[in-house]
A and B are shown apart, each in its own frame.
Chain A
Amino acid sequence: MKRKWFKIIEKGVESVLFTSSLTTSITVILIVIFLFSEGIGLFFSKPIDKDSIIGISKQNTVSKLSSAQLNHIFNQDLTNWKAFGGKNDSIQLLSINNIGDYFAEEELGSSFENIPNKINEFVQKHPGAIVSFSKTYMPKQFAGKLLEINNVGVWEFLSGKLWYPTAQPVAQLGVLPLILGTVLVSLVAILMALPLSIACAIYLAEVANSKIRNILKPLIELLAGIPSVVYGFFGLIVIVPEVQRIFNLPVGETAFTGSIVLAIMALPTIITVAEDALRSVPRSTKEASLALGATHWQTIVRVCIPTAKSGIAAGIILGIGRAIGETMAVLMVTGNASTMPSLFAPARTIPATIAAELGEAPSGGLHFKALFALSIILFIITFGINLSVSYVKNKNKSN
């Protein structure tokens, strides 16, 4: 009888253990589901403020525009409808900002009650008219036609160069500067960290005596545990002014500054993994090389590094992954300008954008969805990096 109870308990415990072992997998799946369910909505929404309406003259043959095209109209860099496939009429924009140029204040009424009529008047008078107003000012019986606005397109999102998610009345949601900013900052960081960390790993694994190694290795591992916000703080206080001084820049918060901080943060990761890989080279392999008359240095270059190369590669890829996903330190030192990045100018990365803007984005709005769509990009990049790390590691095992 007691045995039977034992069996039932054992089975029960086993199923509880089994369930918890699935937690990580379920979490990854849930992350995917939530990021996509919030982010994918972006591509089914129009990049226009809910309370705004854009109208054009009835004669106009154009009926649909994208947010980028509208941006050209509002900035007045394109002034003819021909540019958008319409008739040869010059574009005449009327909005709350310039209505005073067309109509005197008395005409609009003391509490602007005449604005709807004036909008109709304007649209009927000018065949090239485009009017942009909030719903409250638009006439009940609009004399023109409403302009349709394209949904945010995937390609437009990925290749757009303007990131003004809160612009009125149409938001500009191009993430190319953010993607390029992320790539630039991380790439330069890894290029700086790589020679330093590989040299340090070789020194620790092969050259240093065990006494030095036993002190340095735990210390370097410890430094990997320092919070990123502390690195960011250090970068802001020390590295930012130095970069500004040395390169004689107007501001010290640049992509390059971010790269330096990221490089410092990536050092412990790459050193630890690469050193482990170098240490796992079998002793017999090394001794065979030495027995053939090679010097220690030749053995390292010709035997140890080639044998450990997939482990070293895994460390480097891991470092790149960390650098791309790093949020706080980069947010604090890169200056966060969402322009097309260059090395010695302020830049902005995907994680920093999310961290800086999500707090101000109303839940479920366009900006909110755009930030989740950004996080999908980030997730896909890091997921790819993780998969390649496990691929490289497994390849190492099978060798």
Chain B
Amino acid sequence: MASKKRIQQALAFGLFRIVSLIVVGILFSILFFITIRGIGVINWTFITAMPEDGMTAGGIFPAIVGTLCLMIGSMIFAFPVGVMSAVYLNEYMKDSWLKRFVSMMTDNLAGVPSIVFGLFGMALFVNKLGFGDSILAGSLTLGLLSLPVIIRTTEEALKTVDDSLRIGSYALGATKLQTIRRVVLPIAFPNIMTGLILSMSRVSGETAPILFTVAAYFLPKLPTGWHDQVMALPYHLYVLTTSGTNMEAARPMAYGTAFVLIVIVLLFNLLANIIRKHFGRKVKMN
């Protein structure tokens, strides 16, 4: 009887191990495939030149610059708002219907499909406020999209700050604001930065929200201000694979673009992990 149970357990665990291997294998074969095909395309010209010959030759420089603009632009808006919002939720707000409501709305915003953000950004920023297809409109749309992630990670970071530190600060005569600025935020800072970096990495790969707010199909020049359209890496990859003039010839360009995107995501995650390991306890991400 006992041995039957053991056999059952061994079988089940063996199966799970194999399934897990398969899952991890599938996920990694994707990374591996794109790396193998993409790494050969990467050279100095590819990174620093404009696209040429119907996007089948040259480089992806404007798309890289565009994506960087959007990453920075969205964070200029979302980071301060997100952090301030989380500070208020965690440090000031008492447990009330309002807090539950705000919390629920933040969760809901996190679950809104990215294409709906795109539609909303177009209706509000591009049309209603008259920004047109611009870095400004795209950054604001992406900023709203990443707001829930920043709020959640900052809240988690603030929760890891021990209450005794706050009380100690009050006991020394500091005000609430002083306590937050001099005690709570410095301790939570590394984990807050982790959230920031992970949001930037997410923003770099979003395509649907920028389709109708900023992304240009082909624009071989660099942006000069907030009101310019830009190319962006994820949209460029989409264009190269689905609607280019010569898709077969553009294939190597597509592999290269996908590889650059993956490298950005990997680098940012690595950076976040390093900060996390070095400075603080782990922040949970959903």
Contact = CB atoms under 8 A, between A and B. Distances in A.
**Does B associate with A?**
yes
A324 B113 CA distance: 8
A225 interface: yes
Contacts of A220: 24, 27
A372 B31 CA distance: 35
Interface string A187-223: 0000000011101101110011000000010111111
Interface in B254-276: 254, 258, 261-262, 265-266, 269, 273
A271 interface: yes
Interface in B115-158: 115-116, 118-120, 122-124, 127-128, 144, 147-148, 151
Contact of A21 (B84, B108, B116): B84
Given A23-B147, A30-B124, A378-B113, A332 B242 contact: yes
Nearest to A226: B265
Contacts of A54: none
Interface in A333-373: 351, 354-355, 358-359, 363, 371-372
Interface string B195-224: 000100110111110011000000000000
A14 interface: yes
B26 A24 contact: no
B16 interface: yes
Interface of B is mostly: helix
B124 A34 contact: yes
A21 B88 contact: yes
B111 A321 contact: yes
B205 A16 contact: no
A296 B85 CA distance: 44
Nearest to B13: A207
Contact of A196 (B6, B22, B80, B198): B22
Contacts of B112: 28, 31, 325, 379, 382-383
Interface in B240-264: 241-242, 254, 258, 261-262
Contacts of A231: 30
A34 B111 CA distance: 18
Interface stretch (A90-98, A126-134, A233-241): A233-241
Interface residues of B, number: 89
Nearest to B104: A390
A22 B102 contact: yes
B48 interface: no
A77 B124 CA distance: 43
B47 interface: no
Contacts of A383: 108, 111-112
Interface in B77-91: 80-82, 84-89
A206 to B, nearest CB: 9
B255 to A, nearest CB: 9
Nearest to B99: A21
A325 B107 contact: no
Contact of B208 (A13, A203, A327): A327
B34 interface: yes
B92 interface: yes
A247 to B, nearest CB: 19
Interface of A is mostly: helix
A306 interface: no
Nearest to A301: B12
B201 A225 contact: yes
Nearest to A31: B120
A28 B105 contact: yes
Contacts of A44: none
B76 interface: no
Nearest to B238: A229
Contacts of A27: 109, 144, 147
Interface in A1-40: 6, 9-10, 13-14, 16-18, 20-25, 27-28, 30-31, 34-35, 38
Contacts of B113: 324-327, 351, 378-379, 382
A21 B86 CA distance: 7
Contact of A328 (B8, B88, B238): B238
A48 interface: no
A32 B208 CA distance: 18
Given A20-B85, A199-B20, A230-B237, A297 B202 contact: no
Given A204-B20, A234-B34, A268-B27, A387 B92 contact: no
A68 interface: no
Contact of A25 (B6, B81, B105, B234): B105
A232 interface: yes
Contacts of A221: 285
B17 interface: yes
Contacts of B201: 225
Interface string B1-25: 0000110110011011101101110
Contacts of A272: 286
A216 B269 CA distance: 14
Contacts of B23: 196-197, 199-200, 267, 271
Contacts of A271: 23
A298 interface: yes
A166 interface: no
B176 interface: yes
Nearest to B12: A297
Contacts of B212: 358-359
A230 B205 CA distance: 8
Contacts of B151: 24
B119 A372 contact: yes
A289 interface: no
A273 interface: yes
A328 B285 contact: no
Contact of B107 (A9, A233, A386): A386
Top-4 shortest CB links A-B: A227-B205, A325-B113, A297-B9, A17-B88
19 contacts: A20-B80, A20-B81, A20-B84, A25-B101, A27-B144, A28-B109, A31-B112, A31-B116, A196-B19, A204-B20, A207-B13, A208-B17, A222-B265, A225-B202, A229-B238, A232-B241, A233-B258, A236-B241, A268-B27
